[in-house]
């Protein structure tokens, strides 16, 4: 005699159901009718545009490679010379120092701009307004000639005696002048970048932190800023690349950066175009490396904003190749 558990337990055969069969279309008389084959849409305009773009790109590359006026042998000869590499190192050092100091100064300015204190808010707004309204070249020339306004700088009691006095001519050289001018200019833009990133975080995050008894400075440092980095990093990456290229303007102050080093060489050899190509290729190479680093930094701070991280460039290329291979296989099977 079967037990109640055996009676109510479904058998493996009865528990599995065959997949439903869709009835074939008929003409009403019981005869099956073949469905028309689905033909994929042919994007003629897209393909024609791609062919024209590739043709123009090939013509540009051919004109650059085969044009003897570029003198690629001269470019290769001066590409790794000592003068060029020293100028490149100074450009990289200047870019790093200006970016670090600019954000160290710009972050307090952004906090002051968001402060409830009207005095701090007004001073921060005035700083950003002045340095964003003045061309960078004018600022650099102003700081280079600061000795005409302040021949000496002193340290002492306000409105009282001075204990230490230094002549401005001996204190501010071309390189230090470039660092000061670029940093003050960069801080104005960094303040707006940080302020925009902080404003992109929902106000409920700060309210929740205050409800838990967390002070405003700690909430800003531990809760708001890490979330704001998702909005800060892309713009800061563009600022970094812009600063790298903008350092070439310090050549007017006789600072031996990459462009000035190249200018010294072609002033002696009169090979202007190939030496400018040396600087151009170095700028492109460094910018490419910085762009790749920006991608991975953005990927790091995007961990909590999406279910899956954006693929790396190599993985994205693999996905596209796999998709193209699958399309070719489907097209071959359809033709067969």
Strand segments (E) across the chain: 152-156, 162-167
Answer yes or no: is 50 within a domain.
Answer: no
Q: How many domains in the chain?
A: 1
**Domain membership of residue 272 as a residue range:** 86-303
Q: What confidence tens digit (pLDDT) does each residue in 288-324 have?
A: 999 888 888 888 777 665 555 555 655 666 666 777 7
Answer yes or no: is 270 within a domain.
Answer: yes
Q: Nearest to residue 112, comparing CAs of 104, 124, 101, 102?
A: 124
What is d(CA 178, CA 166) in angstroms, rounded to the nearest whole number? 19
What is d(CA 156, CA 250) in angstroms, rounded to the nearest whole number? 32
Answer yes or no: is 176 within a domain.
Answer: yes
Answer yes or no: is 294 within a domain.
Answer: yes
**One pLDDT digit (tens) per residue for the chain, 336 residues:** 444 444 445 454 444 455 555 555 555 565 565 666 766 777 788 889 999 999 999 999 888 888 888 888 888 899 999 999 999 999 999 999 999 999 999 999 998 998 888 999 999 999 999 999 999 999 998 888 887 777 777 777 777 777 777 777 767 788 888 999 999 999 999 999 999 888 888 878 777 887 888 887 788 778 887 888 888 888 888 899 999 998 888 888 888 899 999 999 989 888 889 999 999 999 999 999 998 888 888 887 776 655 555 556 556 666 667 777 777 777 777 766
Residue 148 in tokens: 């005409």
Instruction: Find residue 153's DSSP bridge partners.
Output: 166
Answer yes or no: is 48 within a domain.
Answer: no
Element holding 153 (H helix, E strand) = strand 152-156
User: pTM of this prediction?
Assistant: 0.71
Q: Nearest to residue 232, comparing CAs of 124, 103, 132?
A: 103
Q: Rg of the Cα trace of the chain? A: 33
Q: What is the CATH number of the domain that holds 285?
A: 1.10.3720.10
Answer yes or no: is 161 within a domain.
Answer: yes
Please enumerate in sequence order all residues whose Cβ is within 8 A of that of 263, keeping only pairs 6 or more positions apart, or say none.
Answer: 251, 275
Q: What confidence tens digit (pLDDT) does each residue in 140-196 have?
A: 988 888 877 777 777 777 777 777 777 777 677 888 889 999 999 999 999 999 998
Instruction: Find residue 165's DSSP bridge partners.
Output: 154
């Amino acid at each position: 005699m079967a037990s109640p558990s055996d009676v109510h337990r479904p058998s493996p055969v009865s528990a599995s159901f065959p997949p439903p069969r869709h009835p074939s279309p008929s003409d009403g008389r019981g005869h099956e009718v073949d469905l028309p084959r689905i033909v994929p849409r042919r994007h003629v305009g897209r393909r024609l545009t791609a062919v024209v773009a590739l043709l123009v790109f090939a013509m540009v590359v051919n004109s650059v490679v085969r044009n003897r006026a570029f003198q690629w042998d001269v470019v290769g000869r001066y590409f790794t010379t000592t003068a060029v590499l020293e100028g490149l190192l100074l450009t990289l050092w200047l870019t790093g120092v200006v970016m670090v100091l600019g954000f160290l100064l710009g972050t307090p300015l952004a906090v002051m701009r968001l402060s409830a204190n009207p005095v701090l808010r007004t001073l921060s707004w005035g700083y950003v307004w002045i340095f964003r309204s003045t061309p960078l070249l004018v600022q650099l020339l102003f700081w280079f000639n600061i000795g005409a306004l302040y021949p000496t700088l002193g340290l002492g009691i306000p409105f009282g005696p001075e204990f230490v006095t230094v002549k401005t001519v001996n204190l501010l050289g071309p390189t230090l002048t470039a660092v000061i001018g670029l940093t003050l200019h960069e801080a104005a833009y960094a303040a707006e970048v940080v302020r925009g990133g902080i404003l992109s975080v929902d106000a409920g995050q700060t309210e929740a932190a205050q409800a838990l008894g967390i002070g405003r400075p700690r909430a800003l440092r531990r809760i708001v800023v890490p979330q704001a980095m998702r909005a800060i990093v892309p713009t800061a990456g563009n600022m970094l690349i812009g600063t790298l290229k903008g350092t070439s303007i310090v050549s007017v102050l006789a600072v031996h950066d990459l462009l000035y080093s190249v200018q010294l060489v072609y002033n002696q050899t009169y090979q202007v175009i190939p030496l400018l190509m040396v600087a151009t290729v170095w700028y492109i190479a460094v910018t490419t490396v910085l762009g790749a680093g920006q991608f991975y930094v953005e990927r790091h701070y995007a961990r909590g904003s999406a279910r899956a991280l954006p693929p790396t460039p190599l993985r994205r290329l693999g996905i596209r190749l796999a998709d193209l291979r699958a399309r070719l296989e489907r097209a071959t099977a359809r033709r067969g």
